[in-house]
Structure 1
Amino acid sequence: MLETTQWINNYFNDSTDAIMIFKDEELILSNQIAKDLQNELNMNPQYLVEVADSSVKQKFSPTDNCFSCIIQNKMKEISIPITLAKDMSHPLNYFMIYNVIDQDEKVFSLTLKNRGTIDRMDQLAQQRKLTQYVNRAYEKERKRISEDLHDSIAQGVYSAIMGVRRLENNEFTKEQLKELTTVIESQLNDTLTEVKEMALDIRPSVLDNFGLLAALKVLAKRLQENSGVTINVAGNADTRNLSNDIQSVLYRITQESINNALKHANADEIAILLVSHDHFITLEIIDDGDGFDVPKYQHFNGRSMGLMNMNERVKTFNGAFKIDSKSGEGTTITVKFPIA
């Protein structure tokens, strides 16, 4: 038991948060970092009690003005932003956590947590969440490619193999043999077309050979032929100074945006603008479709994964990403990247 008590004391004193425990509004115990703050800032713990008192009253509207009465409230914990050393060159920003320890004995704690540390922890948690999302997106894409290979490519090749085996039959007439070879050739051509389509989706060779603007025009032409929706590409952008990674990101965002407009927006016309400026390049994808409520799709859910994927791809290379859309007014997606 003594050893356990020592462990608790060590944990309390070595904590990176300043912890103060009060009884009947009087400070009865502080850990080392709380004592250091009191000494260095000449901080009166009663000031923190008054700040907590005011915040709790605002939140819970008690029946009278005594702090001990507020403790009777069923609230267990409240977080209060607070800044210490305001007159110094580097003010200290904290979250003060008020926590009820023993309601009957009127014992409570005030814990000061560094706001910068909490923000970094939140960023790390968000990054972990985004990493999980990206992994899911990659797995989803791999699954789609696998299904396409199995359900379409493999079946087409298998059908052609079956046709070739039938050629071993010597009882075919010349006309039957010609008809069968025509069917086999058609099956192989269809399979070849699908392989090319998959290759274009995965990595278009025109992007490497002729640049981003040419690749966008080829993409627009192909999707226009498949969908019947008018897709125009315009711009004067010189993309030679853009890295291959950024060109790939701009291509993928255009691809994703067009597919979204075709699948979800009932668009009749889509415009892609790629323009160079003095210090940055701008890509805009504009559709005249149904539009949508942007805030509704800015959180993690199944329907927002494509939007989040775009945003994260752009942020990875220090770009800016923006969506303007309203129900019934179409959608404009804007991407900016700095250029040398």
Structure 2
Amino acid sequence: MKLRQKILLLAVAPLAVAMMGIALAVKFQATALARHERALVESAYLQSKETELRHYVDLARSAIAPMVESGRTDAATRAAAMAALARLDYGPDGYFFLYDLQGRNLMHPRQPELVGQDLWLMRDPEGALTIQKLIAAARAGGGSVRYMWQKPSSQQLAPKLGYVVAVPGWNWMLGTGIYLDDVEQTLRRLDARAETDIRETMAWIGVIAAISILLVAASGLALNISEHREADAKLRQLAQRVVQSQEEERARLSRELHDGISQLLVSVKLVLEAATNRIRTAPSEGAAVAPILGMALNRLDSVFNEVRRVAHNLRPALLDDLGLFAALEHLAREMQAGSTLTVAVTQDGAPRPLGDEQATALFRIAQEALTNVERHAHATHVAVQLEYGASATRLTVRDNGTGFDVARMQHDPLRGIGLRNLRERMAALGGQFDVVSTPAGTRLVAALPLNSRMPELSLS
């Protein structure tokens, strides 16, 4: 997986996980709220129906109260009371029923076939003893009971809420009830509506999550494109600097070859030609030719020295043979040989072997710094310090020159190329590079950590 894909994944994954967590939390809370609302609606509805049924039963009791309180218990009086109760109905499924306290049915307007039957052991489809539950509630002073019973209008079993009381004088249980299938249907519609609302909420969360992820992905893509362009611009700028450095190095080598080695070789050629002509015109004057040949040899020595100097500037052999400190000392001697500048090289700490990349980088920094001091600083003394610390190898170059404006130099595209190249060289090795300059002098510090190495190039 490429780096930009990993970054995009790290940006999108937490957002997706967060949105999923929000969705699950919202679904859980909405489901719990819907259940709570259903329970409240059901409880309130049943409570209102229980109150309504109690009023119906009170009305029925008041209808037969004169007969019950008359003290007569004959069959005719009881039959008249049953007839009065049978006439009290409210709708196709609203009626009153009578049982004695032993479970025998005395009156049932919608199911007359039950009259006279002993239903004490009657059970509903769930196994509950329906009549016993009703009689127990009546004996306890009256109350409501939920049970299953056949609905007259549909001839199907349906849940029912009954309310019963005892008629102590006649050993009766009087009751009525309301069927709850309509209530359950209403509650099912409420549940379905809640599920629909939850699905719509989840769909909205999904849409918001998708839009958010797309926005993050688009932002990441835009940022990636921007960084790509910036990286490409930096690479082009770096390539231009590399080409410029190569051209400058070629121009310097060309000047040194033309002004130094080429001039000396031409001079040697002319001397040798003069010696050849002398020998050709006067073979007997060999002794006169010897000084001319000596001059040619001296100039050839100068050519060899010039070649060694150019080669040393390109890559000093001391750096590979004797190490960085010896190469810095040699560089200081060469710098002092052709100028009035004094260069002091010191070493602190226990020396340790450095990698080729580290040694070369520190040597080039010292070389560039000394060259800049010689050309621009108007200094008389330079101190070069190589320090082997516990965590880093540090090179410090101090001079007593006039200094320069570091910030202005770094932002000037036509100046400070050398300093920028040194800074980039240190950054490539994971090191630090710092320049502090005042009118009293300049201090340059380059530090490489012990584990510094060239970073691997990534094409991601």
In the TM superposition, 1:152-167 aligns within 5 A as 152-167=260-275
Structure with greater strand percent: 1
Equivalent AA in structure 2 for residue 296 of structure 1: R
1:329-340 matches, cutoff 5 A: 329-340=440-451
Match of 1:245 in 2: 357
Deviations 1:201-228 (A, max 9, x none): 0011111000001110011011111112
**Structure 1 93/126 Cα, relative in aligned 2: closer, same or farther at 3 Å?**
farther
Q: TM-score, length-normalised on structure 1? A: 0.64
Q: Aligned ranges for residues 287-298 of structure 1 at < 5 Å?
A: 287-298=399-410
Residue 427 of structure 2: aligned partner: 315
Q: State the SS of the aligned residue for 1:148.
A: helix
Give the superposition deviation at 1:180: 1.5
Residue in 2 aligned with 1:278? 390
Give me the TM-score of the superposition, normalised by structure 2.
Answer: 0.48
Aligned to 2:306: 194
Q: What's the CA shift string for 1:116-162, capped at 9, x where partnerless?
A: 65345323312321221122111210121123213321221122122
Q: 1:299 aligns with which of 411, 432, 444?
A: 411
Q: State the partner residue of 1:69.
A: none
Moved more, 119-128 or 305-314: 119-128
Q: How does 1:209-224 map to 2 (within 5 A)?
A: 209-224=321-336
Letter in 1 for 2:333: K
Name the count of aligned residue pairs: 243
CA distance in 2, matches of 1:37, 1:150: 75
Residue by residue, what CA displacement relative to the aligned partner does 1:301-328 show, whole Å, maximum 9, x if unpaired? Answer: 33211111111111111111111112x2
CA distance in 2, matches of 1:229, 1:247: 24
Name the amino acid aligned to 2:446. Answer: V
Report the secondary structure of 1:245's partner residue: helix
SS at match of 1:235: strand
Cα separation, partners in 2 of 1:239 and 1:136, compared to 1, 3 Å: farther
Change (3 A) 1:237 1:175: farther
Question: Residue 338 of structure 1 aligns to which amino acid in structure 2?
Answer: P
**1:240-288 deviations in whole A, cap 9, x for unaligned?**
4421011011101100100000001111000111101111110011111
Long gaps (5+) in structure 1: 1-35, 44-83, 85-90, 96-111
Q: Secondary structure at the match of 1:278?
A: coil
In structure 2, distance between residues paired with 1:317 and 1:128: 20
In the alignment, the residues of structure 1 paired with residue 207 and residue 326 of structure 2 have an alpha-carbon distance, to the nearest angstrom, of: 66
Q: Is the 8 A contact 2:397 2:445 kept in 1?
A: yes
Superposition RMSD in Å: 3.0
In 2, Cα distance between the equivalents of 1:283 and 1:269? 17
1:67 is aligned to none
Q: Distance in 2 between matches of 1:208 and 1:174?
A: 47
1:144 alignment counterpart: 252
- Cα distance in 2 for partners of 1:122, 1:215 equals 39
Residue equivalent to 2:348: 236
**What residue number does 2:143 align with?**
none
Alpha-carbon distance in 2 for matches of 1:222, 1:137 = 23
- The corresponding residue for 1:40 is 209
- For structure 2, the 5+ residue unaligned runs are 1-204, 452-460
User: Which whole-Å deviations, capped at 9, do the CAs of 1:164-185 have from their partners, x for residues lacking one?
Assistant: 2222223385664343123212
2:199 corresponds in structure 1 to: none
C-alpha displacement of 1:163: 1.3
Instruction: Give, as a single letter, the amino acid of the residue that structure 1 aligns with 2:311.
Output: A
Equivalent-residue separation in structure 2 for 1:275 and 1:200 (angstroms): 24
Distance in 1 between the 2:391 and 2:366 partners? 21
Query: Is 2:316 the counterpart of 1:208?
Result: no
- 8 Å CA contact 1:93, 1:116 repeated in 2: no
Give the % identical residues. 29
Correspondence for 1:126: 234
Deviation at 1:94, TM superposition (A): 9.6
Are 1:270 and 1:286, in contact at CA under 8 Å, matched by a contact in 2?
yes
2:352–2:388 CA contact under 8 A, matched in 1 = no
Matches within 5 A, 1:87-102: none
Task: Judge conservation of contact 1:324–1:333 (CA < 8 Å) in 2.
Answer: yes
- Structure 2 counterpart of 1:329, one-letter code: A
Q: d(CA) in 2 for partners of 1:215 and 1:237?
A: 17
Q: Which moved more, 1:141-150 or 1:171-180?
A: 171-180
Question: 1:237·1:281 contact (CA, 8 Å) conserved in 2?
Answer: no
CA–CA distance in structure 2, aligned partners of residues 303 and 333 of structure 1: 17
Alpha-carbon separation, structure 2, partners of 1:318 and 1:212: 19
If you compute each CA radius of gyration, which structure gives the higher value, 1 or 2?
2
Instruction: Give the direction of change, closer, same or farther, for the CA distance of 1:237–1:129 in structure 2 (3 Å limit).
Output: farther
Compared CA separation, residues 317 and 37, structure 1 to 2 (3 A)? farther
Question: SS at 1:167's partner residue?
Answer: helix
Amino acid at match of 1:137: S
Secondary structure at the counterpart of residue 385 of structure 2:
strand
